[in-house]
Structures are given as structure tokens and as C-alpha cells.
Amino acid sequence: MSNMCGHFLKPLGRSYYIRDLVAYTEDDISIKKLHFSSVPLQLTKDILMTYFSKFGRVSGIQVVRESMNPVPCVAGEVLFANPKDAAKALEIPTHSLDGNQFQVKPSYSWLQPDAYGKKQEQPQEATILKLNNDCWLDILPFLKLRDRLRFARTCQRFRAIYQMATARLYSSVNTRQFFRMNQWDIADICHLCSGDIQDLYKLTLWDIRVFYELSGGQIKDLECMLPMMDSDERFRFIPVYCRNLISLYLGRKVLSKDTMLSMPTTIEKLDLGKCFRVQNLPMIIKHFTELRKLNLGDVTDKMCQTMVKKNCCPKLEMLRLSPCEYSNCEVLAQLPSLKSLTIHSKNGTSTTGARLTEKLVEHKAELLEYLEFDCANPLPREQLSQISKLIGLRTLILPIWYGVKEPVLREFSNLKKLEQICFNYKGNSDAAILDLFISCPRLSHLSIFGYGQPTKEVIQCIADQVRREQANKSMRRKLPIEIGLPFDLSKPEEIHGSEDIIKPQFNYWCSLSNFRPERWS
């Protein structure tokens, strides 16, 4: 056996290193207990006991049936009396027994016999324990998160102190910071905190487990950008400890039905836009009985039909989706509570949601408040005319790369409740823009692409219209009127006395995000 020091190995995703013929987890815990899985049923507990005893004295072995494996097999753990014997078994990449192959890996750090120190090492008499709780509460803010977590897992008293010190710190967690953590770190952190953590990148899986364990009950908003792994053990702490989640974003993950069905039903906002190969999507959505906001990513007609037919999301108000090629998804217009819809289409697809728009006019003309097309293709002329019939719209965002001509813009004057609009204008005059502004008494924000510099006359007419409405006491707009403009334009000439009426914004990307109800990633 090699005598390695400081070099981490990762069998099946669990890191360890070997020093002086002893294997240690990434938490520096000596490894005595190993985990094995996918072992054929014919290899009984006695046979496995005899096999592992070849490496050294075995203190115990546990074997259970693997219910999730489609092939009948068992998994379990073997405990060695001497960590050097465990290291010998661990160093073999693939074990072979009676013609059957299987692998072993370290058991979790927190399951190792020496995880909390050996009995003779327990610090009951340590001087540090004489500090009172108030002193520790003053000290903890000066410690980095990893040190706080390891402080918390030392004993029950320190655990309680940690919870007192951090109870108010964590309500929103972004797990991008978990990328460099080991498994124990991730497990602890999910349980301990519920806030925006900035220094999680050094945590181990045990640390993260402790984090979630102690603070998971406080976490309301979780943005889960965990790295792709064959077995994403970091992800499993979320349903166990974060039982009060309201918002969950899952980025770039392959999701199983069983994992998602274990999530708390309290979730109101679910973002699956970057996930792929989501199993049993309608069943998963129906699991979240309080769901009000949903980003689905790619969907097919069959998925949409099942969602509506089985009434999977009766409370859903906000939906973002990417219809697959040749999918219409028009049945979604029948969702009972739908108020906001974003249709996204990728490059290379011809989907614009034209059929869905027709059905929205039929079922949601007065109820739909927000409509956005994040499309790589222009909307057909007929579809634009259909949009003008959605008289309940408050916000309308059209594809920014394809222009709207004057006749269509005049049709949009029917949208009397419109407050915000974003479009690419291909007209030849300002008249249609002014008519739209005058005809829509609530309109307060215009982000206009392809328009160029607003003329002094346009600014003057908008200001005059606002003053007339103020004089008539019919003002229903929010002031100042915002006009989103490109970076490369100079500031339009100000009209004296209109500074509090019109406010140009020279980054229409930012102005657009200001009135989006959600920032879907």
C-alpha cells in the first residue's frame, strides 16, 4: 500500500486521503467504517463478513436490500477494528468475489466511530468550556463559517450556542458557494443556516450537513447550484432539513421523481428551467400544493395536457416555459389562476406560442396581467393582433430583435390597463407612440428598441399629456414616466419643468428587469 499524504482520492464522489497507512476523510477523521453497494443478493452477510475479514478484524457488518436499484442487490457497511485494515480494503478500486464485482467507499465522516473524538479525548475538563455562553456569542462572529460549524458539532452546548448566534442570519441560501465543500460540510450547513452565505466554499459535506441540520428550518429561499455528480449527496439534505422552503431554484440538475416528491409541499416558487430529464413532471408539480410561480424549461404538448387535465397546479399564477419544437401548449391557457406568462424559445426553433396566444384571448383576455415573449423569432402579424385583445394586460414584453410597425402599435391602444411595455419599433414617426401613450391611461414605462433618440416634441407631448391628466384629476400613471434607452444615445434635451415627469434610463436592459415580476435565471 502506498503511504500518501495530502492527496485526496474520490471513490464514487467521497474524498479521502491516506497518511501513514491510515485513511482519513476530508474532515480529517480516521476511516474505520466503509460503505458498499450494488452487491448481488447471493453474496450473503456471512460471505461478505468472511471476505472483508481477509483485510483484518471486522467489528461488525450491516446489510440491507437496495430498494431503489432496478437490479436486486444489497448495500451495507462494514466496520473494521483497525483503521489500517479499512485503508487496505479501501485502496482496492474494484472488489471481486465469486465472479461478482462491487466497490467500496468511506462511510460519511459523521458515521465514523471517531467522528466526535475518542472517549479519552473528550474535552469535559477543557479550560475553554469554562467560558460562559455570552462570551461565546461575542466570539462566534469573528470565526469563519467553517470554524463555526465545527464548533457547533463539538457538543450539544456549543450546538445550542451556534443556533442562538445564527438564528437570524440565514433565510436565503445560494449553494453556488458549496462547490468546494466536502460532503460532511454540505450536510451540516444545510441544517444550520438559512441566509446568503459568502464563505461556504471551504466547507466539507459534514459541515454543510450541520449547516442544514441546525438552520434548515429557517431557510425560506434556496438557490441550489450544486455541481453535477453521479450521486449528488449534497442535494439530499434539502428535503430532510429544509421543511419550510418557499422558493427553490434547481440549476443544471438531473432530477428524479423520488427526490422531488420528498421536497416540502410548502414551496410556492419552483424554478426547474435549467434542469433536464425531469421524471414524471406533472406528478412532481402536483406534489407542490401551494405552488404559485413555476419555471419549467422545455415542455411538450403531452406534459401540458396532463398538467391541466389532472389539475396539477390550481394555484399557479406565474408560469415560464420553453415549448419544444412544434409544441403549442395552448391548453395551458386553461390554468385556472394564471396571471403571468413568459414564453421562451431557443435559437433554431420556430416556436412563438401563436396557438397559445389565441387560447389566452379565449380564456384569459381579462385575467392575464403579464405577457413576455423571450423568443428568437419574430411574432406573426396575426399573433400581434391577438395580443391586442388581452385587455387585462399590465405588462407586455415583445421580442427585442424584431420590430413592431405602426398599425400594430395602434392596435395596442386597446390595452387600457397597460402600465409597462417593451418593444422594438420599426415605425417612421412618433405619432403611433404618442397615440399609445395617450390611449393607455396607466402607461408609465416604455422600453423602446430601435427607436433612436426621442425628439424634443415627443418629450414635450408626453409632459403635456401628464399635466392635462393632473389638471383633470384623472392621473392614473406612476411618475416619473420612465423611457428605457440604449447606452449609446446622448441624454435627450430636457423640457423645462418636466424633470419630475419624465426620466430617461440609459440601460434598457436594467429598466426592463425593473418591472419583470421575477428574475428567472
CA 422 to chain centroid, in Å, comes to 27
- Please report, in tens digits, the pLDDT of each residue of the chain (521 residues total): 433 333 334 444 467 899 999 999 988 899 999 999 989 999 999 999 999 999 999 999 999 998 777 788 999 999 999 999 999 999 998 999 988 999 899 999 999 999 877 655 555 556 777 788 888 888 887 887 778 787 887 777 888 887 777 665 555 555 544 444 454 555 555 444 433 343 444 578 888 888 888 888 888 888 876 543 334 677 788 889 989 999 998 876 667 788 889 999 999 999 988 776 677 889 999 999 999 999 987 888 888 999 999 999 999 999 998 887 777 789 999 999 999 999 888 655 666 788 999 999 999 999 999 999 988 778 899 999 999 999 999 999 998 777 889 999 999 999 999 999 998 888 878 899 999 999 999 999 988 877 766 778 888 899 999 999 999 999 999 999 988 776 555 566 666 667 788 887 765 554 555 556 565 54
| CB-based contact 477:466 (threshold 8 Å) | yes
| Closest of 269, 163, 292 to residue 216, by C-alpha | 163
Find the DSSP H helices in 131-170: 133-139, 145-152, 156-166
The architecture that CATH gives domain 11-111 is 2-Layer Sandwich (3.30)
Residue 351: what pLDDT? 67
The answer to whether domain 394-521 has CATH 3.30.70 is no
- Dihedral in degrees, nearest 10, Cα atoms 301, 304, 308, 312: 150
Give long-range contacts, CB 8 A cutoff, 24+ apart: 487-494.
489/452, 489/453, 490/453, 492/453, 492/454, 492/455, 492/456, 492/459, 493/456, 493/459, 494/459
Q: Residues spanned by CATH 3.30.70.330 within the chain?
A: 11-111
| CB-based contact 41:74 (threshold 8 Å) | yes
Q: Residues spanned by CATH 3.80.10 within the chain?
A: 394-521
Residue 48, phi-psi category: left (phi > 0), alpha (psi -120 to 50), beta (remainder) = alpha
